[in-house]
Amino acid sequence: MSTSTPAQPVEDAAADLLEAALAEADGTAPVEAAVRRRTFAVISHPDAGKSTLTEALALHGGAIGQAGIVQGKGGRRGVVSDWLDMEKARGISITSAALQFVYRDHVVNLLDTPGHADFSEDTYRVLTAVDSAVMLVDAAKGMERQTMKLFDVCKLRGLPVLTVINKWDRPGLEALELMDEIAEKTGMTPTPVLWPVGIGGDFRGLLDLRDDSYIAFEAGSGGATRTVWTRMGLDEGLARDGDVLATAVEEAELITSSNGRHDEESFRAGRTSPVVFAAAVLNRGVEQLLDILVETAPPPGDRPTVDGAVRHVGDPFSGQVFKVQAGMDSNHRDHVAFIRVSSGRFHRGQGVVNARNGKVVGTKYAHRVFGGTRTGVEDAWPGDVVAIVNASGVRVGDTLFEGRSVTYPPIPTFAPEHFAVCRAADLAKYKQFQRGITELHHEGVVQTLRSDMRGEPSPVLAAVGPMQFDVVSHRMAGEFNCPVQLEPLGYQIARRTTSEHIPALSRVPGVEVLTSLDGDHFALFPDRWRLQRIERDHPEIVLDALAADSLG
C-alpha cells in the first residue's frame, strides 16, 4: 500500500526547480532535451472546467501553492491562467495562456485555451503549437458541439487526444454511456485507464487499469490543496468499499473486453483515446492524469515544412509564432510574441530571421510567461514556449529560424460570421484609433477589412463571434485610450477572392468587397442564397472558402 502526502509547493522553489531543469546539462543535444518535454493543450466546450483543470495541474506540478477556480467561487481565488480584466470579471477564458512547470523530471508545457466559441480562432492557433491534446468532457453533458469542432481540428492535425471525463463529483451520465458517445461521435475507440469508483456525485476513487489497483480518495481532502489518496490492492479495496468497487470492476471488465486496454501505438496514431475520470474542482484524479500525460503523451518530434520537407528536432533553432499579445504589462505598451520552439536550442540574445520578410528579430527580452507574470529565459528547447517582448514586425504564423532557412505551414484563418463598422468615438484620437485597430488585427483579435468606399476612418471588423467585438471595445478604451463605436453589418459569409474579380462582385447588389490589412481580398455576402446564386451564374469568379470553413 502506498499513500500520497499533501505537498507544500512554494512558487519560488518551483521557479528555482524550473530554472535548473530548463538549463539542461552542458553539451545537451536538442533531441535529448526534447525527450523530457511534454507540450499539450486543454480543449473543451465552455464551462467544462478547462481553466480549473489547468490550475489543478499546475498545483500538482508544484508551480503554485494553492489552486483557484473561475470567479473565486467557494472562497477560492481566481485561476492564474485567467489574467485579463475581462476574464476575471466574466469568469471565462478569452485568451490562451502558457504555463510551464517540472513534474517527475519532465518539463511540462501546458497551454490553456479559451472555451467560448467566439474565441475559437485563438484555440485553433494553440493547437498548431502542441504535440497532443487533453479533451475535457462534462460528465453531465457529454460530447458537445464545440468539443467536437476542436476534436476535428486535432484529428486533421494528427494530434493524439487523451479524454478526461470531468465533474464526476456531480450527478451525470453513466460511465458506460459516455464511452459509447465518445466512440460514436469521434470515431475513436475510448480505452479507459482510470475508471471511476462510485457513480457521478459519489466519487470514491479510481480503478487503475494499468495494474488493477484501487486509488481511494480520503474524504474531505482536495479543493484548493492536493487530494490525499491511498493506493491499495483490490482485495483491500473490496474490504473498504465493497459493492461500489465491485461494480466498477464489472464495468471496467465490460468496456475493456469490448474496446481493449490502452495501447501506446494506437493512441499516438489517433485510433484510440485513453480515458481518465476526474473532478478537477476537488483535484481528484488530477495527479494521476499528470502521471499518464508524462508517461504516454508524445514528446516533440520532427515538423513538416511548407515545401513538404521536414525540420528535424536536432536541426538549428526554428519556431513558429502562434500568438501575439499586447498590453500584458499595464505599465508599458508591450508587444509579446509567443513562439513554440520546434527545433534546436533557443538562447536569449541570438539573432533569428523572420522567414516572411527576411528581417532579423532580436531576442534580448525573452521571457517565460506564467498567467500574467513573466520571468527571464536564457535557453529553451523543442516543445518549450518562449515569449519575446517587443518583437518588432512579428505576426501570428511567422516562422523564426537560425541557420538553414525554413518556413512552417501557415496557421489557418477562421471564417468570420459577424461584421461591424468601427469608428473612433473621438475623431481627435484618430492616430490612437489607427494604431490600436492595426495592432489588434495583427494579434488576431479580429480581422480588419478596408475599402476606398468606406475610407480609412471606418474599417470593417470581422469576427467569429460577437464577444470578440466586446474585447475590441474594452481594449481600445483601456489600452489605447480611444473608445470606439461599432455598427453591426448584415453580412454572414466571407469568401476570399482576387483583385481581378472585384469589379464584377462590386456590381452585385448586397455584396461588398473589402481588403484586409494583410492584402487579401474578401467578398461579404448577406446570406448563403446570394453566395450560391453567384457561384451558379458566375463560375469564373474565384470565391474560396477560408481554411477553417470545413470544420463547421
481-539: per-residue pLDDT in tens? 999 999 999 999 999 999 999 999 999 999 999 999 888 899 999 999 999 999 999 99
**What pLDDT is recorded for position 123?**
77
Q: Which candidate, 262, 277, 212, places its Cα nearest to that of 238?
A: 212
Helical (H) or strand (E) element with 153: helix 145-157
Closest to 495 measured CA to CA, from 410, 411, 415, 412: 415
Tell me if 413 is assigned to some domain: no
Does residue 450 contact residue 515 with C-beta atoms inside 8 Å?
yes
Is 112 annotated to bind a ligand? Reply is yes
231 and 112: one domain?
A: yes
Q: Among 374, 401, 428, which residue terminates a domain?
A: 401
DSSP secondary structure of 166-220: E-TTS--S-HHHHHHHHHHHHSSEEEEEEEEES-TT---EEEETTTTEEEEEPTT
Residue 10 resides in a domain: yes
Question: In the structure, what pLDDT confidence band is assigned to residue 411 with cuts at 50, 70 and 90?
Answer: confident
Q: Give residue 258's pLDDT.
A: 94
Average per-residue pLDDT in the chain?
Answer: 85
201 with 323, same domain: the answer is no
Q: How many domains does the chain have?
A: 3
CA 196 – CA 434 distance, rounded (Å): 55
Residue 408 placed within a domain:
no
pLDDT of 327 over the 60 cut:
no
Region 201-207: what's the mean pLDDT? 96
Q: Residues, the chain, total? A: 552
Is 70 a residue whose pLDDT tops 80? no
pLDDT value of residue 150:
81
Which domain, by its residues, includes 232? 2-299
- Hey, what amino acid is at 248? A
pLDDT of 296 higher than 50: yes
Contact indicator for 8, 293 with CB cutoff of 8 Å: no
pLDDT confidence tier of residue 325, bands split at 50, 70 and 90: confident
Q: Is 45 annotated as a binding residue?
A: no
Write down the number of H helices and E strands in the chain.
14, 30
- What CATH number is associated with residue 453? 3.30.70.3280
Q: What is the pLDDT of residue 368?
A: 85
Residue 238 Cα distances to 244, 253, 278, 285, angstroms: 8, 16, 21, 20
Domain holding 157: CATH number?
3.40.50.300
- 377 and 430 share a domain? no
- Alpha carbon distance 22, 259 (integer Å): 39
* Cβ burial 58-84 (10 Å sphere, 16+ → b, else e): bbbbbbbbebbbbbeeeebebbbbbbb
Domain presence at residue 167: yes
Is 61 inside any structural domain? yes
The angle subtended at Cα 524 by Cα 393 and Cα 125, nearest 5°, is 40
Q: Is the pLDDT of residue 78 over 50?
A: no
Low-confidence winner among 14-18, 95-99, 311-315, 393-397 (lowest mean pLDDT): 14-18
What would the grid cell of residue 367 be? Answer: 521571457
Q: How far apart are CA 341 and CA 387, in angstroms?
A: 11
With pLDDT > 90 as the criterion, what percentage of the chain qualifies? 61
Statement to judge: residues 269 and 318 lie in one domain:
no
| pLDDT for the residue numbered 331 | 54
| Residue 190 assigned as binding residue | no
Q: Which of 136-140, 183-187, 463-467 is predicted least confidently?
A: 463-467
Has residue 372 got a pLDDT over 70?
Answer: no
Which residue in 42, 84, 49, 95 sits closest to 68, CA to CA?
49
Q: Encode burial over 521-537: b for 16+ CB neighbours within 10 A, e otherwise.
A: bbbbbbeeebbeebeee
Q: Which residue has the higher pLDDT, 92 or 299?
A: 299
Are residues 382 and 292 located together in one domain of the fold? no
User: Which DSSP symbol is given to 78?
Assistant: P
In which element (H, E) is residue 165 found?
strand 161-166
Ligand-binding site membership of 114 (annotated): yes
Could you tell me the pLDDT band of residue 85, with boundaries at 50, 70 and 90?
low
For 25-30, the CB contacts below 8 A with 24+ separation are 29/314, 30/313, 30/314, 30/343, 30/344, 30/345, 30/381, 30/382
Are 101 and 128 spatial neighbours (Cβ–Cβ below 8 Å)? no
Q: Residue 431: what pLDDT?
A: 93
User: Which of these, 376, 387, 370, lies nearest to 334 by C-alpha position?
Assistant: 387
Q: Report whether pLDDT(6) > 70.
A: no
pLDDT value, residue 301: 96
| Residue 27: pLDDT band with limits 50, 70, 90 | low
Classify residue 477: in a domain, yes or no: yes
Q: Across residues 384-413, what is the average pLDDT? A: 90
The pLDDT, as a whole number, for residue 22 is 60
Does 115 carry a binding-site annotation? Answer: yes
**What sign does the dihedral 317-321-327-333 (CA atoms) show?**
positive
Quick: pLDDT tens for 352-369: 999 999 999 999 999 887
Residue 259 shares a structural domain with residue 386: no
The CATH number of residue 314's host domain is 2.40.30.10
In this structure, the answer to whether residues 383 and 308 fall within a common structural domain is yes
Indicate if 310 and 273 belong to the same structural domain: no
77 pLDDT tier (thresholds 50, 70, 90) = very low
Residues 58, 427: Cα–Cα separation, whole Å: 46
Please give the model's pTM, rounded to 2 decimal places: 0.81
> pLDDT category, 20, cuts 50, 70, 90?
low
Q: How confident is the model at residue 79 (pLDDT cuts 50, 70, 90)?
A: very low
Same domain flag for 211 and 109: yes
Last residue of a domain, one of 242, 276, 299: 299
395 and 531 assigned to the same domain? no
Does the structure show a pLDDT above 80 at 130? yes
Beta bridge partners of 134: 42, 162
The residues that bridge with 347 in the sheet, in sequence order, are 379
What mean pLDDT comes out for the span 72-100? 50
For residue 108, give the 3-state DSSP assignment: strand
Q: Which of 190-199, 416-425, 461-470 has the lowest mean pLDDT?
A: 461-470
Would 407 be classed as within a structural domain?
A: no
Q: Verify that 395 and 431 share a domain, yes or no.
A: no
pLDDT tens across 415-460, in order? 788 999 999 999 999 999 999 999 888 888 889 999 988 999 999 9
State residue 493's pLDDT score.
Answer: 93
Q: With cut-offs at 50, 70 and 90, classify the pLDDT of residue 552.
A: very low
* Span 105-127, pLDDT tens digits: 999 999 877 655 555 677 778 88
Given a contact cutoff of 8 angstroms between Cβ atoms, the answer to whether 196 and 178 are in contact is no
Q: Which pLDDT score, from 0 to 100, does residue 304 have?
A: 96
Structure-block grid coordinates of residue 256: 475493456
DSSP 544: B
CA dist., res. 189 & res. 191, Å (int): 6
Q: Are 432 and 479 in contact (CB under 8 A)?
A: no
Last-in-domain residue among 355, 376, 401? 401
Q: How are beta strands 272-277 and 189-197 bridged, if at all?
A: parallel
The more confident residue out of 191 and 58 is 191
- On whether residue 410 sits in a domain, the answer given is no
Are 391 and 423 members of one domain?
no
Span of 76-85, 222-231, 543-552 with lowest mean pLDDT: 76-85
CA-wise closest residue to 364 among 340, 383, 392: 392
156 Ramachandran zone, left/alpha/beta (phi>0; psi -120 to 50): alpha
Where b means 16+ CB within 10 Å and e means fewer, 457-479 reads eebbbbbbbebbbbbbbebbeeb
Taking the CA of residue 335 as centre, how many other CA atoms within 13 Å lie in the half-sphere pointing to its CB? 19
| Torsion, Cα of 47, 49, 50, 52 (10° steps) | 130
